[in-house]
Amino acid sequence: MNTNDQQKTMAIAEYFPDGSITRIIFSNFLTYEYVEIFPGPNLNVIIGPNGTGKSTIMCGLCLAVGGTPKLLGRSELLADYIKHGSKKGSVEVFIRDSKLGKDRALSIVLHRIGGSNYFVDGEKVTQTKLRSIAESYNIQVKY
């Protein structure tokens, strides 16, 4: 970790309470090829004209913490959330956890063929386990 990354991590630790989402990474997810979002420590509002990806952000966030496609009101096939022309896509959500001394990473990796996989800090887990961890941070998604 370079000095700049250490400074960012320290700043996050000072201002973000545990359970706060500090970063979201989208890779080949719906309309996004690669995007990193850094929410603030307080209220975040997603605004923009039609077709700019607001719903994409919410879809990715819900799926990465264990939500189901049925919840989203779009396709119920996870493969349909992969960017057109790509074989796989992913969303990774970082959650502040001072007890761990680092942000916890929850993610979903979607495959065009072969389903999807869930990960916590890079370790493959079940969707149920991922949901349980998300709920421990008071992240509530209707399943």
Distance CA 68, CA 56 (A): 14
20 lies in some domain: yes
Q: What is the DSSP letter of 62?
A: H
CATH code, domain carrying 77: 3.40.50.300
81 lies in some domain: yes
Element spanning 90, H or E: strand 88-95
The helix/strand/coil state of 81 is helix
Q: What is the residue range of 37's domain?
A: 3-41+68-136
60 lies in some domain: no
* 110 phi/psi in degrees, rounded to 5: -100, 135
- Total domains in the chain come to 1
Q: Which pLDDT tens digits describe the chain residue by residue (143 residues)?
A: 566 665 565 555 568 889 999 999 999 999 999 999 999 988 889 999 998 889 999 999 999 999 998 888 888 999 999 999 999 999 999 999 999 989 999 999 999 998 899 999 999 999 999 999 999 999 988 76
37 lies in some domain: yes
94 lies in some domain: yes
Q: Tell me the whole-structure pTM to 2 decimals.
A: 0.86
Please give the order of strands across the beta sheet that includes 116-120.
Answer: 32-37, 21-29, 88-95, 104-111, 116-120, 123-125
